[in-house]
Amino acid sequence: MTMRSSIHFACAAIAGLLLAACNSTAIRVGGAPEASIKNCVAAAARELRVPPGSIVADRGTTPRDGVYTINLKVGPQGRSAVCTTDENSAVLGVVYKRPE
């Protein structure tokens, strides 16, 4: 193996690891399981009548009672919304936040 092909191989391996890390299911928002995040985005799209692609999970919290709170940014203006799920990733509610 030549030096040039070794460098190309190493770069390809690093790129593959980075891509795998970006697509990892272990990435969480504030400790919330991935299923909770996906369910919140789907519920927010239905409740707020926006396309799912316009919703971004911003951050979240995990209180002691097992209810996950996930903050969402909705639409091109990034309007704030909040979604709550239980420990089984069932959505409890989705609402827009009041402007501060």
| pLDDT, mean of each 10-residue run, the chain (100 residues) | 48 43 45 90 96 91 84 94 94 91
Return d(Cα 47, Cα 89) in angstroms, integer: 17
Instruction: Please check whether residue 76 lies inside any domain of the structure.
Output: yes
Number of domains into which the chain is organized: 1
Return d(Cα 83, Cα 71) in angstroms, integer: 6
Phi, psi of 87 (to 5 degrees): -65, -15
Provide the domain limits for residue 52: 29-96
pTM over 0.75: no
Instruction: Please check whether residue 3 lies inside any domain of the structure.
Output: no
Give the number of other CB atoms < 10 A from CB of residue 48: 17
Instruction: Please check whether residue 48 lies inside any domain of the structure.
Output: yes
Predicted pLDDT of residue 42: 96
Instruction: Please check whether residue 37 lies inside any domain of the structure.
Output: yes
Return d(Cα 44, Cα 77) in angstroms, integer: 16
